[in-house]
Amino acid sequence: MNTDYSPHYLILGNGPAGNKAALTLRENDPQALITIVSDENIEFYYKPRLTDYIAGKIGSDRLRVNDFKFYEDRNIRLRLGQKVEKIDPVGHRVILKHMEEVGYDRLVIASGSRARLLPSMESYAEHLNFVTSFREVMEIKEKVQEAKDFFLLGGDLVGFRFLNMLRSMDKNVTMLIFPDAFWPFNLTDEMLSAIEAGVTASGTRVYSRDSVSRIRPRDRGFEITTKGGVQENADLVFSFNGLIPRVEFARGTGLDIDRGILVNEYMETSLDHIYACGSCAQIYNAGINSYTTSIGWPNAAIQGETAALNILGDHQKVESAGRKYFDLEGVQIKTSWWENIEDPPSV
Ligand SMILES: Cc1cc2nc3c(=O)[nH]c(=O)nc-3n(C[C@H](O)[C@H](O)[C@H](O)COP(=O)(O)OP(=O)(O)OC[C@H]3O[C@@H](n4cnc5c(N)ncnc54)[C@H](O)[C@@H]3O)c2cc1C
């Protein structure tokens, strides 16, 4: 690029990966044009605090990481409420839902993930609730406050956070735990039994090694029946079965995609000038000669930073966040992809 030219860095996604990429680019390139596009209507917010928000313990001001002025001061353009429908890598542009085209010199895809819906649950999807974004939370907040009886299906890490929230609100909870709900991590039998014991001891009715055969709307709420013969009623049913990368807009563009967008250790995709980071990416790990999806806030930020530095001409391999333990109902799980965050580090 010639020295008079200000490149346009376009960042698709307003989570920790996208924000860390934008800030790293700005710190190192004061002249560049930087745009963040997100289909949500809220500024960058702390997902780990969503449960405190649902419970009414904090207001929406405490969800926000940075306000609009923060971006104005850094000359980063925020385009909220705008969904990317398609990427055109040949024309170096993305196409938004309202058909506007936005050009780029370098594109960082940081589109995160959404709730995984198990194929066996597809026919009941309209009865299920999820907790992965502010938009979903806005839809359910009041209903959760009013409801008394809850049925939780699966039980991934967000699910256990939600369970703790319901306990703190004195709600009645029944949980059907699936060992593969922690996808991409599978619970061993031993872990499952220990977690089950922990959940039961805290007063939650819990089932496992069973599956749903029917969810039926009733006058008030729903009736849930399992193949093992359990029948329960609940005001609200929630599904917590892990997250899958949001990459629909990238299919058919020539990008290599498996579950997520495949990137090498430098966060480069299979196409020139396009990088991917955070939970939408699947990163090559030379140690195991395979690609792994990484979830969790700290890793998303590290990957955003690595993508930005490499765009700027470095040649840095991504490192994962330090290994820590987190407590899942008394079971200590060692991980580098998730850390139980009460007050997330800003990026
Ligand atoms: C309730 C909850 C609690 C959590 N608690 C923890 C915790 O304690 N510890 C931890 O490590 N992690 C936690 N997480 C996970 C953590 O928040 C995620 O790992 C992290 O946000 C991933 O960052 P990301 O930048 O990759 O994607 P995201 O934060 O998901 O951001 C993706 C962005 O891309 C945008 N986007 C996607 N597709 C499009 C499109 N087509 N067009 C326009 N915009 C698009 C989205 O609107 C969003 O702005 C929690 C998550 C939830 C939901």
Domain-located, residue 345: no
Per-residue pLDDT tens over the stretch 310-344? 999 999 999 877 666 777 777 777 665 566 666 66
Please tell me the predicted confidence (pLDDT) of residue 17.
Answer: 98
Q: How far is the centre of ligand 1, averaged over its atoms, from the C-alpha of 15 (Å)?
A: 5
**Which ligand 1 atom lies nearest to the CA of residue 342?**
8
Domain-located, residue 334: no
Widest CA span in the chain: 71
Judge whether 160 and 133 are in contact, CB under 8 Å. Answer: no
Question: By alpha-carbon position, which residue is closest to atom 44 of ligand 1?
Answer: 38
Q: Is 244 in the pocket of ligand 1 (CB under 6 A)?
A: no
| pLDDT, tens digit, 9 for 90 and up, residues 3-32 | 678 999 999 999 999 999 999 999 999 999
Judge if 157 and 259 occupy the same domain.
no
What is the Å distance from ligand 1's center to 251 Cα?
20
Q: 10-residue block means of pLDDT along the chain (347 residues)?
A: 82 98 98 98 95 96 94 98 97 95 98 93 95 96 97 92 95 92 76 89 92 94 96 97 94 96 97 97 88 86 97 93 72 66 63
Query: Are 54 and 119 members of one domain?
Result: no
Three-class SS state of 159: helix
Shared-domain flag, residues 217 and 272: no
β-pairing, 172-177 vs 149-154, is parallel
Nearest CA to ligand 1 atom 29: 15
* CATH code (residue 290): 3.50.50.60
Are both 299 and 209 inside the same structural domain?
no
**98 CB neighbour count, 10 Å cutoff:** 8
Query: 133 and 70 in one domain?
Result: no
> Which one of 196, 222, 243 terminates a domain?
243
156 and 279 in contact (C-beta within 8 Å)? Answer: no
Local structure of 160: helix, strand or coil: helix
The answer to whether the beta carbons of residues 169 and 301 sit under 8 Å apart is: no
In a domain, 82, yes or no: yes
In a shared domain, residues 288 and 203: no
| 303 Cβ below 6 A of ligand 1 | no
Domains contained in the chain, number? 2
What pLDDT score does 294 carry?
Answer: 77
**Do 231 and 125 sit in the same domain of this protein?**
yes
How far does residue 24's CA lie from ligand 1's centre (Å)?
19
Single out the residue in 210, 225, 243 at which a domain terminates: 243
Give 293-329 as a DSSP string: E--SHHHHHHHHHHHHHHHTT--PPP-PPPPEEEEET
What does the pLDDT read at residue 331?
78
Whether 333 is covered by a domain: the verdict is no
Whether 181 and 250 map to the same domain: the answer is no
**326 CB burial (10 A radius; 0-12, 13-18, 19+):** middle
Predicted pLDDT at 157? 85
Amino acid symbol at 272: D
95/121 same-domain check: no
pLDDT confidence of residue 134:
97
Beta bridge partners of 207: 176
pLDDT of 339 reads 62
Q: Are residues 217 and 100 in the same domain?
A: no
Q: How far is the CA of 274 from the centre of ligand 1 (A)?
A: 20
Task: Note the pLDDT of residue 319.
Answer: 86
* Residue 178 belongs to domain spanning: 115-243
pLDDT in the model for residue 344: 62
